[in-house]
Structure 1
């Protein structure tokens, strides 16, 4: 019988008893069959149900917490998006008499910090040579309009950006000519630090410093407009009439110091003098070589700018942004420096004094779109709810509640 069952296993599946008997027949000892599991009691069922329920609640709570954690505050999000925002930010305005070398120095800074490549410099060199103005090629980096290049004078406030190890800078290249003083004012009003460029060339310092020269006027305007720190760079030190002369540098410093004091500057604390050559880029990114200038032991321009103390600002204060310019670009765009508070995309703000309620559509900083911008930043803010014609330079973008 056993053999029959085995042969016909597929056709006639054996019963449990037959299967057991069958295996018993093959084994020497009878096989013990495990006792069936006891039926689950009502109490244990209830226990399992309640445990499942609590597990579901725990999972739900964990998901809820995850969702909450997933909502990253705007500030954190912005910091993650823009690592460079962790660097402090400073606005530097270049001021001084016409032809002192402001645009050339600004252009050289951009070249040394890698913002302009060699090919562009070669192009500008050729362009300047064609105009018989060989020494102007560095200024072409900052002076971009044809009018400025033909005249060799800055007219509009040039704007550019560069970075050092610890700081992001916005350069504002102000015009030196007295016909464009209003433009110089709009540049200085946005700055935290002033770089006063003085020409060491024989006769040029005297012309700028005498009555009617722009050196004096620019210093007084900068102080009035809130530029509290001043770096006085004595430029053109490599010029044949100067040749890195210590006497010439000391003469300029001794004449400027009493005037800076009378303009309200604390010379020991807020003013730093240093010699440079803007055209050759000497003592700017790296310290001047002893073989060129043996007597100067101080820092170079980049070191001075990097160590300037930043004025205290309040990112949590009420929004205050004086508007310096406006234009139309699929909406109304206003430009200016945030003096207090933080502007976020989507904020509802007020344009004073005409009390226009506006909404922030986007914020642009250093040519990049950002979700928010804090005090000290030079920004372009696109607004909804106001026409470009209804805004004038001097109006203030401010918070609604304050």
Structure 2
């Protein structure tokens, strides 16, 4: 079975915790003692129903107490597919955490309260998911039970959001009316909304096509580690381990090594479970080559006629993640792109982007915590990059503070 990674985002009390609890409960992903504890707590609070939001209540308590806010991951599976949920905080002061959670997502679910409609936070969440090139976006209009399952209200929200989304790069946009509390259209179709002709949320998650989203055209293989066993029976073994970042690799394929430009062919592809006939994203494999080439960590293997652009000058959208330190022109940082690490100088800050209004402030001289802007960087050695819109792995990078050795920014090459 393949794995679908999806992120959830929503304003306060939009029902995100209840929705996640409903998915976990209906997919039998919780233990009996967990369910008994939730039922007992629900009774103690005087609730007439089992409050499934309590399944993620630990994270909610953490938020209320102002402790470190981070992305919470949940796991569940159905007979058709495995799922990883990145439960991201939606408040503007936690933009960096939403960027972290959505950066690896195949799909994003944005919850909207049917009573409140499209809010400023809804627009911000949509913009961030499209900025991060999340291929599929689902707008779940929740709490339909509180508006009497009104088709007119659902259509109003859909029209308003569609109008806003036309300004974004939302390629696949789906609208689903739900009630997470009562389970309407979450796992099965709701009898309360006969006017809705689409599928349930879980059916959509199980069947959305994601294989083609992982860039099966451009072969990209950043070398992470060179394997040379010391045991005598393997003294001739030399393998290059890493994660396939794009394309399909097969034994016999001609590849070129960057930065040397030397070409060779793949002799075999090894995995933990033994040799395989092909490798594709996001598999982690070890390549054996027909020729001995000086290859080390940070190098790139690709097709001779389809190579990434080696460059020491890049323009990128940066989400600044450091508290107490600001990004300014002339700042010196460490950049980590795929498996290559180099030093970088901030040449210029072109503008700061308001994630609520999409206004570009070209007079900005710095980026503070959770702010996003476009910058130019000069790198000390060539990086083998693609545009982020083409390949999220070879088009993304992180910035590291040289003194504190902590991540201070995440970038998307444009």
Q: TM-score, normalised by structure 2?
A: 0.53
Aligned residue among 25, 28, 31 for 1:111: 25
1:317 and 2:200 correspond: no
Shift of residue 143 of structure 1? 4.1
| Distance in structure 1 (CA, Å) of the matches to 2:83 and 2:169 | 25
3-state DSSP of counterpart to 2:75: strand
Deviates more, 1:278-287 or 1:130-139: 130-139
Aligned pairs for 1:370-381 (under 5 A) are none
- 2:83 maps to which of 139, 155, 169: 169
- Note the C-alpha offset of 1:307: 2.0
Give the 3-state SS of the residue equivalent to 2:153 in structure 1.
helix
Matched, 1:233 2:135: no
CA contact (8 A) 2:114 2:142 kept: yes
Give the structure 1 partner of residue 154 of structure 2. 249
User: Partners in 1 of 2:202 and 2:109 — Cα distance?
Assistant: 12
| Distance in 2 of aligned mates of 1:152 and 1:113 | 31
Q: Deviations over 1:102-129 (max 9, x none)?
A: 2221121111111013541331344366
- Equivalent residue for 1:302, pick from 202, 222, 234: 202
Quick check: 1:392 aligned with 2:407? yes
Equivalent residue for 1:181, pick from 65, 90, 95: 95
Question: Contact 1:91–1:192 (CA<8 Å) still a contact in 2?
Answer: yes
1:193 maps to which residue? 107
1:164 CA displacement = 2.9
Aligned partners of 2:17 and 2:223: how far apart in 1? 30
Distance 1:233 1:146, change over 3 A: closer
Distance 1:98 1:319, change over 3 A: farther
Distance change (3 Å), C-alpha of 1:176 and 1:343: same
Aligned-pair CA distance for 1:276: 0.9
1:265-312, Cα deviation, whole Å (9 max, x unpaired): 24xxx11111111122221111112xx222122211111112212013
For the 8 Å contact 2:221–2:245, the answer to whether it is kept is no
CA contact (8 A) 1:196 1:233 kept: yes
Question: Would the alpha carbon gap of residues 257 and 154 (structure 1) be closer, same or farther in structure 2, given more than 3 Å must change?
Answer: farther
Gaps of at least 5 residues in structure 1 are 1-86, 322-336, 356-374, 378-388, 397-402
Corresponding residue number in structure 2 for 1:276: 178
Structure 2 Cα separation of the partners of residues 285 and 136 of structure 1: 17
Rg larger for: 1
- What are the Cα deviations for residues 131-163 of structure 1, in whole angstroms up to 9, with x where unaligned? 688889422323424733756999421211222
Q: Higher strand proportion, which one?
A: 2
Q: 1: distance between equivalents of 2:60 and 2:159? A: 39
Deviation at 1:256, TM superposition (A): 0.8
Residue 318 (structure 2) pairs with residue 353 (structure 1): no
Work out the CA distance in 1 between the residues paired with 2:13 and 2:68.
9
> Where does residue 343 of structure 1 map in the other structure?
284
Give the counterpart of 2:129 among 198, 213, 222.
222
Which range moves more in the overlay, 134-143 or 97-106?
134-143
Tell me, yes or no, if the aligned pair for 1:154 and 1:176 is still in contact at 8 Å: no
Change over 3 Å in CA distance of 1:99–1:264 after alignment to 2 = same
Q: Is the 8 A contact 2:22 2:180 kept in 1?
A: yes
More helix by share: 1
Aligned counterparts of 2:71 and 2:194: Cα–Cα separation in 1: 36
Tell me if the contact between 1:103 and 1:154 (Cα under 8 Å) persists in the aligned partners: no
CA 1:155/1:265 → structure 2, altered by over 3 Å: closer, same or farther?
Answer: same
Partner of 1:262: helix, strand, or coil?
A: coil
Is the 1:157–1:173 Cα contact (8 Å) retained in structure 2? yes
For residues 83-94 of structure 1, what are the structure 2 equivalents within 5 Å? 87-94=1-8
Using structure 1 for the length normalisation, give the TM-score. Answer: 0.54
SS at match of 1:180: helix
Secondary structure of 1:222's aligned partner: helix
What CA RMSD, in Å, does the superposition of the two structures yield over aligned residues? 3.8
Contact map agreement 1:338 1:376 (CA 8 A) in 2: no
8 Å contact kept, 1:153–1:175: no
